[in-house]
Chain A
Amino acid sequence: METYELLSAVLLAAGSFLLLSGGIGVLRFPDVYSRMHAAGITDTLGACLILLALMLLAGFSLVLLKLMMILAFLLITGPTSSHALGKAAWKAGVKPLTGKSLQR
């Protein structure tokens, strides 16, 4: 059982680090689209890692099943939300920061 707990601690640490970097990224990136990158990728992956860690802690039980359902749901809806957001932003006319505007 010690290896399980160690592994889950490692996964939790990795997930937290990802989430933190995503949060900082969302604040610091200069443009909506880059922020979507930061938020979407780190969100989904960090959530997966943390949920996997919790699954390791849970053992074989109903809790495991529920965690798997939440994981599946997040995996399906996370990228979909990012896609919908990006598409809506593009259609609304928000222009991404290209290199030209930065070369001043």
Chain B
Amino acid sequence: MLTVTTVTLLLVMALALSRAFVGPTVFDRILAANMFGTKTVLLIAVIGFLFGRPEFLDIAMVYALINFIGVIGMLRLIEYLEDENRSSQEEDA
């Protein structure tokens, strides 16, 4: 059962990756990256159990943290850039 879950996770990661490539807006890509991150957390946890090495859970925890922080970073950047665009448009107008 664990192997089936692992395969499913890999499949979903590939799907998220395709969305990251295609996604017309940047928010699609951020969404895909976030999804990829949570799948990685799960993948590491499941593989840890599969191999009988529960120390992997520390990595899963770190990755969950990093994923969250990364998404916040991306969103702040977009906000900043949009603001830039808006203010430069106001200056032009």
Question: Chain A: residues with CB nearer than 8 A to chain B?
Answer: 8-9, 12-13, 15-16, 19-20, 22-24, 26-27, 32, 35-36, 39, 43-44, 46-47, 50-51, 54, 57-58, 62-63, 66-67, 69-70, 73-74, 77-78, 80-81, 84-85, 88-89, 91-92, 94
Contact = CB atoms under 8 A, between A and B. Distances in A.
Give the bracket for the number of chain B residues in contact with chain A. Answer: 35 or more
A12 B45 CA distance: 12
A44 B64 CA distance: 12
Interface of chain B, main secondary structure: helix
Contacts of A12: 1-2, 4-5
Contacts of A36: 27, 31
B92 to A, nearest CB: 18
Interface of B: 1-2, 4-5, 8-9, 11-12, 15-16, 18-19, 25, 27-28, 30-32, 34-35, 38-39, 41-42, 45-46, 49, 54, 57-58, 60-61, 64-65, 67-68, 71-72, 75, 78-79, 82
Interface of chain A, main secondary structure: helix
Contact of A84 (B15, B49, B72): B72
A20 B61 contact: no
A78 B28 CA distance: 16
B31 A39 contact: yes
A81 B64 CA distance: 12
A92 B81 CA distance: 10
Given A26-B16, A43-B35, A91-B79, A73 B8 contact: no
